[in-house]
Structure 1
Amino acid sequence: MIEEARRRAYLTAMQVVSWLPRSVLPFAAPSRAELLQPLPEPEPQVVAPPVAAAAPAAIREEAPAPRPSIEVPRPAVPMPKPMIKSEPAATEAEETPAPTRAAPVAPPRFALQLLRAGDCALLVELPTGESFQSRDPAYLLLKDLLRAAGLPDSPQQVGDGSPIRWPLLSRGNLDQGPDAARDYVQGVLAGQLESQPCACLWLIGLPAIRFAGEGDADSYNRELTIDGLGPAWALPGLELLMDEPERKRELWQAMRRVMQRWKPAV
């Protein structure tokens, strides 16, 4: 017979927590009443084989055989994969935005007539796009301006008399933007004025001011100096003067200041 202490040591080595003998064991401590109550079914556990040496024959006969533990297989639960936040690869195209392509600029459209009156050259916007006729209201107004300026009121055409038109081509890949139009107009004027210099160049109408004198509507009734062309005077267009007669007063006042360029002092 073994003592209670050795018996508990063996049971602990076999990982037996609670047990009840089938019969009263000699020299055993009295059983506690709560141990006689039915215990809930314990969860299956894997019982490792005892490391201690084989128990004596007396223990095998008197001690009940331990109930073998059956491991219930559980369905394998796949471990969740760690979520890796994928960052978009920074490419050179993303770091450096592609340059935006500028929208093509529509070519300007205008028709200008180069005339000569006394010691002045006149670059006049053609309101209809065609050369002046003798009874055109715009041409009659131009004759009035020349008489008020002390110049011949029958201006003569320069060269072959063909208007300076833009754009040059109706289609094609040729650059016909504002810069190209300005270079073309100034080139034609430079060629004509080189053979026939003038005391002052009249720029009548916004297209004449913009593409010959590089000015704008704020340049009306002002004197300009153009590289390669000399002094110039900017006037509102003939059609604008007819639509807004109140502009004529400021025009007459500016004419008295500029007239000294072509009219000799008396």
Structure 2
Amino acid sequence: MITEHRRRAYLDAMQVATWLPRTVLPFAAPSNPELLALAPEIPLEDAPAPVADVIPEAPAAEARPAATSVRARIEIPRPGSNPRPAVQSAPEAAAEPEAAPAKQEAPPPPRFSLQLLRAGNCLLLVELPTGEPFQSRDPAYLLLKDLLRAAGLPDSPQILGEPVRWPLLSRGNMDQGPDAARDFVQGFVGMRMEEQGDCACLWLVGLPAVRFAGEADAGAFNRELQVEGLGATWALPGLELLMDEPERKGELWQAMRRVMRRWKHTE
């Protein structure tokens, strides 16, 4: 059985304004005498049997689910009990500031070692394959001597200063990117060229020398380049690359025959 308060709520939801129970309801409020006076008298012999005599009382376990089903059917959700999320209009969404783009990280500094040499009236900026100065029996140094003999230049080149190693510093906030490396290498070579005087041609041996002194890439191998501040240059593959790919030597020799006029005619 249900309480009087809940019973009245159900009747209001079903729009029942007046009702009279057939039997005494437990937990019910006292009946209104005026309503009882309006009810017609029913002879005792014609009165219907009490509900308790006709319909057996249902067990408490069965009555509880029935009340639950009725409650779910007639209850009306209260306004605002489950508010819907506000839908943002298109103009407001467009007015929102865009997220700031992620800060692009600076590329790592290039790493290379270059040695400046002089052979006759030519200067050579050569990549050091191991990062250390040449030794007399190094295979790369022996190959360089062969190239100088084939070019008609002294095969015992003079070392000019210490190798140029990049990056300069392992720590610190100084810019050591590709542009800084190019400016440093070109400034270093230009200063040495002024000290040495006449220079018929500058050899750029190896990709780091071609990239940071000649401002070119591997596509410039075996070609002549004109570099501002450095004059006429000749781009060559690296010594280690020539040892790994001997087939490049034929193309190098053909290019050398065309460029050789630069230092041959000035002797």
- Equivalent residue letter for 2:133: S
1:262 is matched with: 263
Post-superposition offset of 1:191: 0.8
Alignment of 1:228-243 (within 5 A): 228-243=229-244
The aligned counterpart of 1:49 is: none
Partner deviation per Cα, 1:18-61 (whole Å, 9 max, x = no partner): xxxxxxxxxxxxxxxxxxxxxxxx9427xxxxxxxxxxxxxxxx
Unaligned 5+ residue runs, structure 2?
1-14, 19-36, 40-73
What is the DSSP-based 3-state SS (H/G/I as helix, E as strand, rest coil) of the residue aligned with 1:193? Answer: helix
* Distance of aligned partners of 1:107 and 1:265 in 2 relative to their CA distance in 1, 3 Å threshold: closer
Name 1:181's counterpart in structure 2: 181
Corresponding residue for 1:195? Answer: 195
- In structure 2, distance between residues paired with 1:214 and 1:254: 20
Q: 2:60 aligns to what?
A: none
Range with bigger deviation, 173-182 or 80-89: 80-89
What is the letter of the counterpart of residue 211 of structure 1? F
Aligned residue identity for 2:17:
P
2:140 to 138, 141, 145: 138
Query: Aligned partner of 1:234: which letter?
Result: A
Alpha-carbon distance change, 131 to 76 in structure 1, aligned in 2, over 3 angstroms: closer
* Change in CA separation of 1:154 and 1:225 when aligned onto 2, cut-off 3 Å: same
The equivalent of 1:172 in structure 2 is 172
Letter aligned with residue 124 of structure 1: V
Q: What is the Cα deviation at residue 228 of structure 1?
A: 0.6
Find 2:17's aligned residue among 44, 54, 61: 44
Structure 1: gaps spanning 5 or more residues: 1-41, 46-65, 69-74
Alignment of 1:3-18 (within 5 A): none
Q: Give the 3 Å change call, closer, same or farther, for CA 76–108 of structure 1 in structure 2.
A: closer
Letter matched to residue 80 of structure 1: P
1:214 has 2:215 as partner: yes
* 1:253 to 1:87, Cα distance in 2 relative to 1, 3 A: same
Deviations 1:123-179 (A, max 9, x none): 000111111111111111111111111111111112xx2001101011122111111
Q: Is the 2:200–2:266 Cα contact (8 Å) retained in structure 1?
A: no
In 2, the alpha carbon distance for the partners of 1:76 and 1:258 equals 99
CA-CA distance at 1:76 after TM superposition: 9.1
TM-score normalised over the length of structure 1: 0.67
User: 2 CA distance for matches of 1:189 and 1:212?
Assistant: 8
**Distance of 2:210 and 2:93 partners within structure 1:** 51
Say whether residues 1:152 and 2:154 are aligned partners: yes
Q: Which whole-Å CA distance do the structure 1 matches of 2:75 and 2:242 have between them?
A: 95
| Structure 1 partner of 2:103 | 101
Deviation at 1:83, TM superposition (A): 3.9
Q: Offset at 1:97?
A: 3.0
Partner of 2:113: 111
Partner of 2:248: 247
- Separation in 1 of the partners of 2:105 and 2:78? 56
Aligned-partner Cα distance in 2 for 1:265–1:209: 24
CA distance change for structure 1 residues 220 and 80 in 2, over 3 Å: closer, same or farther? Answer: same
Q: Which structure has more helix as a fraction of its residues?
A: 2
Q: Secondary structure at the match of 2:140?
A: helix
* Partners of 2:157 and 2:258 in 1: CA distance: 22
Could you state the TM-score of these two structures normalised by the residue count of structure 2?
Answer: 0.67
Q: How far off is 1:105 after superposition?
A: 1.3
For residues 102-136 of structure 1, the C-alpha deviation after alignment (integer angstroms, 9 at most, x for no partner) is 12311111110000011110000011111111111
Q: Distance in 2 between matches of 1:43 and 1:212?
A: 100
Separation in 2, partners of 1:78, 1:238: 85
Q: How many residues align?
A: 198
